[in-house]
Amino acid sequence: MMTQNDLHKICLIHGNQLLLVEETANTSIDQRLEGREKDWSLERFNAQEMLKTTGESGKNSIDDLLISCETLPMLTDRKVIRIDNFELIKKAANKSDNSHAVRLFEALENIIKNPPESLWFVFTSPAMREQDFSKPLYRSIKQGGGRIQKFVAYDNSTPYNWVIQRGEQKGLPLTADVARLLINIVGNDLTDLDHELEKLSLYLSGKTVSEEMIKEHIRGHKHFSVFRMTEALSQKELIPALEILDQQLQSAPREHVRLFALIIMQFRRLLIIHSMFEQFYKESEIIGKISLPPFLSKQVLAQARNFTSEELQNIYTELSKLDLRVKFKNTLAPLLIQDLFQRICSGHFKNAVK
């Protein structure tokens, strides 16, 4: 059990792994309010609401926060104040006594430097970088002995250990290969993974989970269709690839950049495999190097054989040329990707592209 002296008066918990941010914030609050009734000991605010310039939320919330910080807690000896979207609290460029931003910044700056004895503070944010925060506030937390925890997943993050441990907590014994397959289909967002593990536990709790079971039960996930789309494209099956692309863009019109990134990742993998083919690597050696589950590894090896080495190099070159156009020309992006699918499946890239 942590004593009061072990607890930091101020905690900043941030990152794009929102599940870990939320769980860590809740744990920090529970530690500080151990044995106390939360209804009396916890108050929660949102910087986005407090900074509204229209309506009543902004002014009232800032006033409520200030009153809460200046008033001794009632019916308890300790109170925790949580503020979400902490990255929005910045020093205003034009100082004004009536500005919500100025009032909120100055209040938090004073609190962080001199936190009241009976109050503890937990700040949360989806921001990924230190520079996303106000420099004075971030520096005050760091230099003042506050605790800063960051939970960030990058595009190439692969939380195998987390998935295996979380699976065990839910009664799902998962091998490393099954965990990799789950991540390949669902993605690396821990909230999505946790939801899928929760659903799987309803059907498969206590069972030894196989790769086939994962594919059978995960079909409803939003990323499974994308998984099938890259598979169809790698097999040069134009119609299913285009149908899935159309479905994805209709349900999420702004997802074209993410879809294009997954296509790039798939063809980079195929190009690497072909390079190893040419260096006379054995299949078992290739499978060991590409870090995929056996089921997926054999599938990707077969897909790589649908292309020549020159063809894959030409496709990858074309992908690099299209990258900026797909990212910055939103209206043209679907047509560009459809045309790319057509050319890949028709064998357009088999010969040198001028």
More confident of the two residues 94 and 45? 45
Q: Which of 83-92, 156-165, 210-219, 344-353 has the lowest mean pLDDT?
A: 210-219
Query: What tens digit of pLDDT does each residue of 164-204 get?
Result: 999 999 999 888 888 888 887 777 778 888 888 988 888 88
- Please check the confidence at residue 308 and state whether its pLDDT lies above 80: yes
Strands (E), 20-157: 42-46, 79-84, 119-125, 147-150
List all residues 6 or more positions away from 122 whose beta carbon is below 8 Å from its beta carbon: 11, 13, 25, 28, 29, 32, 80, 81, 82, 83
List all residues 6 or more positions away from 70 whose beta carbon is below 8 Å from its beta carbon: none
Residue 117, Cβ density class (10 Å: 0-12 exposed, 13-18 middle, ≥19 buried): exposed
pTM of the model: 0.59
Half-sphere exposure of 115 (CA within 13 A, CB side): 20
Q: Which domains does the chain have, with CATH numbers?
A: 4-150 (3.40.50.300), 160-217 (1.10.8.60), 224-350 (1.20.272.10)
Q: Note the pLDDT of residue 122.
A: 96
Give the confidence band of 229 by pLDDT, cuts at 50, 70, 90.
confident
- The distance of Cα 59 from the centroid of its chain, to the nearest Å, equals 32
